[in-house]
Amino acid sequence: MPVNGFDTTISWSDFQTLPAKPQGVDEDAQIHPEMRPGNIKLGRKNNAVVITDITIDITLVGADCWVVSGQSSNDLLKHEQGHYDILALSAREFHSKLLKLSAKSTQDLQQQVNDLKSKMEKTVQKVDKRYDTQTNHSRDTQNQQLWNKKISEEKQKPDGSIDNLP
């Protein structure tokens, strides 16, 4: 798969345990996955520079992944998995869109890649916020189950998108 980490299942060992919630924070856990372009191969199509092959790596920023001591439940872990999977869906979409870019120069192509990555990251932030609001950080079990189902369905579709999430 062109997205490394797409099917990763997280575990509490991926998180630091904190004695208490950070000041001003409502949630009992936080995950911070990131998508990064990996190996990029460029080519030419007509007079344009194009990406002929690329991998996207999904990684966790360990310092920003934490759980409050005594709060590491299966339900909360499933909620944090949802955040990871939202980014994974975005990374797959990002990969697909990258292969459609073309530019007159390598510099122009790099700018398009940067712009697209920024746009995708903003979309992920909006969806993550909606996810947390609608599920109340996993506390609203009915809405959490709805999101779990929808995220799973979108991941199974080859063209699944975070745009199709609740």
| 28 within some domain | yes
| 14-73 pLDDT per residue, tens | 999 999 999 999 899 999 999 998 888 999 999 999 999 999 999 999 999 999 999 999
| 165 within some domain | no
Q: Check whether 94 has a pLDDT greater than 80.
A: yes
Q: Check whether 149 has a pLDDT greater than 70.
A: yes
What is the number of structural domains in the chain? 1
Short-list 75, 66, 58, 86, CA closest to 14: 66
The reported pTM is 0.95
| 163 within some domain | no
| 57 within some domain | yes
| 162 within some domain | no
Please report the pLDDT score of residue 38 as a whole number: 87
Domain range for 28 is 3-156
Q: Check whether 1 has a pLDDT greater than 70.
A: no
| 32 within some domain | yes
